[in-house]
């Protein structure tokens, strides 16, 4: 059978845009001889609409759009994702559904059984799980239509107290009893740098176990924090990948399920994957929010340098302007390094020294602070003065401020709320400092874009004389491993110590992470590139005693 | 049977504190002749621990604490709430459980069946629903032990497309088939100003339907945004409330299920309930975070005046200091009104005019802004200058900044990010402006605390000459009704217009709400007093097209 895989970038709630993209692909698929075209999960709404799903007018618009799309399915069938209303009197009001459209109507509605409700997923908040299974007969074949998590029943559940399976039901076990010829999976599987492997492993496992070909269509594009990487593929019944679509961009391909070739994407290193994800994350945040222009503070340090390179790649150099805001503690080389980078990238920059504003704050506060020593307060005033200047540029010229905090800093609270934690989007908040160094070197692989000195000098916030990050924090090589064990692997302090780290360092690090939940609560949205990012997918109480 | 109701204020993750409170109540219950003492849902951990439930060491500590508590149950039984590990190989790793302790061991573990996963509730994120039912025989009686939502099967589900029931199961229907003598419900039901009525209605409905007495024990105290109001009670089998514990404070009472009296709490007006909830919310935020002292900016307006009154009541006047930060646009009466209030409450205040700092920003930006008109940028610089000063006081003296934004402003984005939106806790972010006026008048009911002029003058941000809120916003009487319909009732713009509001005003208001999700994303935690507060219980996508 000739089936088209339509890997599209949807905009949440933009029914007009989404339906026009879907209808274009239906036309194209028909014109190019496909019998069926498959779209991704919740394609009509974009994944994930969150509590927009609780609004009646949203569901009605979605329903009307689906009907409209179906009216274009003449001489070709399509499978489109969207919410449907649960007709039963009990349970949640909606299903997460796949609509099988043919002969200008919706012929079948297939509902999702396994509703991920962990990490960044909230599906049981809105949807009732399906418990009835059937296959769709089309073109002489029996199709087992599934939605994303429905095939993730076989996942290894890490740190789950030795759980065998996360769900009571195995949809593919139920469906395989109905003798399907092929499995189709509509997916919205967000990127993390190891997600591609997990995803392929689990689908290959399913394919081999049930001896069935699997056609997998993923969403592509970013929705605030989440980046969907595409990479849709077709597996034959022996679990061999026969066709694989592009990553990080829209793609479309018609495959022949009987004689598919072996069109695979080249393997990519994880740093390059993260780079691609961040570019797409920035581009879609701006594009979908209706913004064009960005600004950021360029300090001469590596974090802001990397954000600038990413922003220029994502938005174009004409859409990025930076501000250099030296203080009395900024070293000469910091200003030089920042200027060098701005020139290397040929972008607009301005220099506004902050000292007179800092002085006016200190003078105004001198009465209230009389007799008290300088402390973190004065450091924060510098960071916050910079925050005001950047927001002034943002407000005056409409350049959205990009935040430059990295994951290591964000974890231990090494940053000033309402100062350097400002921004509309945190680009690096899920990237550890050690990976930032790797990415900077990777960017410079052919020629120097980020000044060598920016990469080689010891990291410093430059908020007091001769300050170094290493005055307050363990070396990043150690810190990042402890943070990874605590945050991504969810290990206890005792387990981390047993892996060979210094006890005092582990306890101090864990305490810093726990004590800074209140800061992260007010952080901007963070582009997610790991399996456990700060933000929506990690919900920790503020008022709590952490042991 | 003589049963003690133990209505306690727990601290999330503070096993030491929680267990010592629980053990004290077990001792007291035994000493006073009770046969059984009942605690609230997840009492050993505090409700709600969120993703701490995913940490092994947290579950282990919880388990050890429960064993320790059980060892004190000699000559008395207790029912304590906590997580338990799911022994089955499939499903989530935990149950939300009630532990029946007697003869120094845990004799029975009863698991929660209905797991609220909507609004502020995330229980299916962590727990597997129970599907097996049994009653516990104790003291010659059969007890049907349930946990909170288990009895909410009968709720009217608003805006749910005419859903009949939210769950597939009716726990009390299952349990009633086992002929229990009484229902016990361990609860953690957060306050909203109409929650008390909903709660009583639904439990009375259950009691009457199944002809069973119900003993209901609720948590009390605040956990970040959520305020638990207590008000535990005992219903006889005809649905009459026989005993009712205090609201907004810890309480303890031994009742005789055969001959209970009629000890009811007086009815309270909703403004007074909200006032009590906010006081408790502030007090517990500070107490449980280990803080004592607060600060805020006092503008002479009604919002900051009300927050100050609440903070002084919650923390004591010696723990609150304020800053007056007049600008060239502050009217004389604003400063006078603010001073008058500070004097009425006898609290420490300082005055720091902001003009020289604002001037130094404008001067530093004059080159970059050359030839451009003044706009919102300059207004924001004023608000952000105040934000820096307040955070400087906070950093230097350890006074946590209280945010003074109200729900109406927060809804329409009438506030400056990193300026007046700063703060560790938003006190009024769930209170509409019209209710703020009501509460101010209620506070002044016996004598004037808040200056009359603060209440009677037209609201203004005073960021430009002669500015009034009504220049940019509909009258609060109209605005608040539209916001309530859109946010609390989840009505569509068309439905709101059909209720008699001006179309242009409705569309403009809804657009402002939708366009400001990005600001609210970075707002402080907001004390929740309504059925739909901004924050955790209202999850809207940032990158979306809202129609």
Model confidence over A399-457: pLDDT tens digits? 999 999 999 999 999 999 999 999 999 999 999 999 999 999 999 999 999 999 999 99
Poorest-pLDDT segment among A87-101, A337-351, A497-511, B149-163? B149-163
Tell which wins on pLDDT, B459 or A123: A123
Residue A18's H or E segment, with its range, is: helix A15-31
In chain B, the residue whose alpha carbon lies closest to the alpha carbon of A166 is: B91
pLDDT for B463 = 87
State the average pLDDT over residues B115-132.
97
Task: Decide if A42 is inside a domain.
Answer: yes
Residues 6+ apart with CB under 8 A from A197: none
The beta-carbon neighbor of B388 closest among A46, A384, A524 is A384
Rounded average pLDDT over A458-477: 89
Instruction: Say yes or no: A384 contacts chain B, CB-CB below 8 A.
Output: yes
Residue B526: inside a domain: no
Which residues, numbered 391 to 450 in chain B, qualify as contacts with chain A under a Cβ-Cβ cut-off of 8 Å? 391-393, 395-396, 417-418, 422, 424
CA distance B540 to chain A (A): 5
Specify the pLDDT at position B471. Answer: 87
- In sequence order, the β-bridge partners of residue B451 are none
Sign of CA dihedral B513, B411, A127, B89: positive
- Among B257, B288, B320, where does a domain finish? B257
Same domain, B72 and B206: yes
Looking at the structure, tell me whether residues B305 and B195 fall in a common domain.
no
Residue B136 lies in a domain: yes
A-facing residues of B in 458-487 (CB < 8 A) are none
pLDDT for B26 beyond 70: yes
Q: Is residue B203 in a domain? A: yes
Report the percent of chain A where pLDDT is more than 90.
Answer: 90
Q: How confident is the model at residue A320 (pLDDT cuts 50, 70, 90)?
A: very high
What are the pLDDT digits (tens) for B387-397? 999 999 999 99
Residue A532 lies in a domain: no
- Nearest Cα to Cα of residue B442 among B229, B248, B276, B304: B276
Q: Answer whether A158 touches B (CB < 8 Å).
A: no
pLDDT of residue A265: 86
Phi and psi at residue A231, in whole multiples of 5°?
70, 35
User: Does A177 touch chain B if contact means CB atoms closer than 8 Å?
Assistant: no
Q: Does residue B159 carry a pLDDT above 50?
A: no
What is the arithmetic mean of pLDDT over A372-381?
96
pLDDT of residue B161: 53
Residue in B249, B186, B179 with CA at minimum distance from that of residue B215: B186
Identify whether residues B443 and B417 lie together within a single domain: yes
Catalytic residue flag (residue B41): yes
- For residues A318 and A310, what is the distance between their CA atoms, to the nearest angstrom? 14
Residue B157 above 80 pLDDT?
no
Q: Is residue A490 part of a domain?
A: no
Listed by number, the residues of chain A in 65-94 with a beta carbon closer than 8 Å to a beta carbon of chain B are 85-86, 89-93
- Picking from A231-245, A337-351, B26-40, B144-158, which range would have the lowest pLDDT averaged per residue? B144-158
Asked if residue B184 and residue B136 are part of one domain, the reply reads yes
What is chain A's mean pLDDT, rounded? Answer: 95
Average pLDDT of the segment spanning A85-110: 96
In a domain, B529, yes or no: no
Average pLDDT over residues B466-493: 94
Shared domain for B499 and B369, answered yes or no, is: no
Give the CATH number of the domain where residue A297 resides: 3.40.50.620
pLDDT tens column, A148-162: 999 998 776 544 456
**Domain check: are A119 and A222 in the same one?**
yes
Q: Cβ contacts (< 8 Å) between A392 and chain B: which residues?
A: 361, 365, 369, 377, 380-381
* Sign of the torsion angle spanned by Cα atoms A43, A534, B53, B424: negative
The number of folded domains in chain A is 2
Are A88 and A176 in a shared domain? yes
pLDDT bin (cut points 50, 70, 90) of residue B164 is confident
**Which of B222, B289, B492 is the closest to A57 by Cβ?**
B492
CB contacts < 8 A, A to B, total 286
Which H or E run includes B402? strand B399-403
The active-site residue, picked from B25, B73, B148, B410, is B148
CB atoms within 10 A of CB B501: 18
Average pLDDT, chain B: 95
Which residues of A fall within a CB distance of 8 Å from B93?
A: 160-161, 163
The whole-angstrom distance between B399's CA and the closest CA on chain A is: 12
Specify whether B148 is catalytic: yes
CA–CA gap between residue B305 and residue B459 (Å, rounded): 12
Quick one: B258 exposed, middle or buried, by C-beta within 10 A (0-12, 13-18, 19+)?
Answer: exposed
A366 touches chain B (CB under 8 A): no
Q: Residue B108 has what pLDDT?
A: 98
Of A356, A541, A544, the CB nearest to B364: A356
CB contact under 8 A, B11 and A164: no
Query: What is the pLDDT at residue B462?
Result: 86
Closest CA to A204 of A212, A341, B434: A212
Query: Is there a single domain that holds both residue A227 and residue A336?
Result: no
Question: CATH number, domain at A50?
Answer: 3.60.110.10
Inside any domain, residue A537: no
* Residues spanned by the domain of B457: 273-465+516-521
Chain B, nearest residue to A129 by Cα: B168
Contact B428, B307 (CB under 8 A): yes
Active-site entry in A128, A148, A149, A273 = A148
Please tell me whether residues A203 and A144 are part of one structural domain. yes
Interface test with A, best of B95, B162, B418 (most A CBs within 10 A): B418
Is the per-residue pLDDT at B323 higher than 80? yes
Q: CA-to-CA distance for A380 and A386, rounded, in angstroms?
A: 10
| Same-domain pairing of B349 and B429 | yes
Q: Return d(Cα A475, Cα A467) in angstroms, integer.
A: 14
DSSP per residue over B287-350, as a string? HHHT--EEEEE--SSHHHHHHHHHHHHHH-GGGEEEEE---TT--HHHHHHHHHHHHHHT-EEE
* Statement to judge: residues B290 and B333 lie in one domain: yes
Range with lowest mean pLDDT among A53-57, A274-278, A465-469, B242-246: A465-469
Dig out the tokens for A197 from the structure: 């492997």
Backbone angles phi, psi at A64, to 5 degrees: -65, -40
Taking CB atoms and an 8 Å cutoff, what residues of chain A touch B350? 367-368
Q: Are A432 and A462 in the same domain?
A: yes
- Percentage of chain A exceeding pLDDT 70: 98
A31 interfacial to chain B (CB closer than 8 Å): no
Q: Does A61 touch chain B (CB under 8 A)?
A: yes
* Cβ burial, residue B320 (10 Å; 0-12/13-18/19+): buried
A20 at B interface, C-beta within 8 A: no
- pLDDT tens figures, B208-228: 999 999 999 999 999 999 999
User: How many CB atoms within 10 Å of residue A335?
Assistant: 18
Q: Is B527 a residue whose pLDDT tops 60? A: yes
B92 included as an active-site residue: no
Query: Would you state the torsion angle of the CA atoms of residues A371, A372, A377, A379, taken in this order, to the nearest 10 degrees?
Result: 80
Across the interface, whether the CB atoms of B418 and A387 are under 8 A apart is answered yes
Distance, in Å, from the CA atom of B36 to the CA atom of B2, rounded to the nearest integer, reads 7
Give the pairing of strands A214-218 and A233-235.
antiparallel
Question: Residue A165: what pLDDT?
Answer: 87
Return the pLDDT at A159.
45
> Given CB atoms, is B132 within the 8 Å cutoff of chain A?
no
pLDDT of residue B252: 98
- Cβ of residue B321 closer than 8 Å to a chain A Cβ: no
């Amino acid at each position: 059978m000739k089936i088209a895989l339509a890997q599209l970038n949807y905009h949440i709630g933009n029914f007009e845009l989404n339906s026009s993209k879907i209808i274009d692909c239906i036309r194209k698929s028909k014109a190019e001889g496909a019998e069926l075209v498959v779209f991704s999960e919740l394609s009509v709404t974009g994944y994930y609409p969150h509590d927009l799903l609780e609004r009646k007018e949203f569901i009605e618009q979605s329903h009307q759009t689906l009907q409209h799309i179906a009216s274009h399915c003449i001489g070709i069938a399509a499978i489109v994702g969207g919410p449907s209303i649960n007709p039963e009197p009990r349970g949640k009001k909606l299903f997460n559904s796949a609509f099988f459209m043919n002969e200008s109507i919706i012929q079948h509605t297939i509902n999702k059984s396994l509703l991920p409700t962990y990490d960044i997923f909230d599906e049981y908040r809105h949807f009732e799980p399906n418990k009835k299974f059937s296959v769709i007969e089309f073109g002489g074949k029996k199709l087992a239509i599934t939605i994303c998590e429905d095939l993730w029943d076989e996942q290894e559940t890490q740190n789950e107290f030795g759980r065998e399976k996360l769900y009571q039901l195995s949809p593919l076990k139920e469906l395989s009893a109905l003798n399907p010829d092929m499995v189709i999976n509509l997916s919205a599987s967000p990127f993390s740098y190891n997600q591609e492997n997990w995803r392929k492993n689990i689908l290959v496992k399913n394919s081999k176990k049930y001896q069935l070909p699997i056609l997998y269509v993923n969403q592509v594009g970013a929705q605030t924090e989440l980046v969907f990487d595409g990479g849709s593929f077709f597996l034959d019944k022996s679990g061999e990948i026969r066709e694989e679509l592009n990553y990080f961009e829209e793609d479309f391909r018609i495959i022949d399920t009987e004689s598919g070739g072996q069109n695979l994407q080249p393997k990519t290193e994880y740093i390059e994957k993260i780079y691609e994800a961040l570019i797409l994350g920035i581009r879609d945040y701006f594009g979908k929010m209706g913004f064009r222009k960005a600004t950021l503070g360029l300090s001469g340090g590596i974090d802001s340098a990397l954000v600038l390179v990413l922003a220029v790649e994502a938005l174009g150099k004409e859409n990025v302007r930076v501000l250099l805001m030296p203080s009395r503690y900024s070293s000469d080389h910091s200003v030089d390094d920042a200027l060098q980078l701005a020139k290397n990238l040929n972008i607009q920059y301005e220099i506004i020294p902050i000292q007179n504003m800092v002085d006016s704050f200190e003078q105004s506060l001198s009465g209230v602070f009389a007799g008290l020593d300088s402390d973190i307060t004065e450091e924060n005033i510098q960071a916050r003065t910079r925050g005001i200047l950047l927001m002034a540029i943002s407000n005056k010229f409409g350049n959205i401020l990009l935040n430059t905090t990295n994951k290591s800093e964000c974890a231990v609270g090494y940053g000033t709320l309402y100062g350097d934690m400002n921004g509309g989007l945190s680009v690096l908040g899920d990237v550890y400092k050690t990976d930032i160094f790797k990415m900077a070197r990777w960017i410079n692989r052919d020629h120097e874009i980020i000044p060598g000195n920016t990469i080689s000098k010891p990291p410093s916030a430059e908020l007091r004389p001769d300050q170094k990050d290493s005055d307050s924090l363990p070396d990043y090589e150690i810190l990042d491993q402890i943070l990874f064990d605590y945050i991504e692997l969810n290990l206890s302090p005792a387990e981390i110590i047993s892996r060979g780290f210094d006890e005092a360092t582990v306890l101090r690090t864990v305490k810093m992470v726990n004590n800074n939940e209140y800061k992260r609560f007010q952080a901007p949205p963070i582009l997610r590139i790991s399996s456990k990012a700060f933000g929506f997918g990690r919900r920790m109480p503020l008022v709590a005693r952490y042991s």
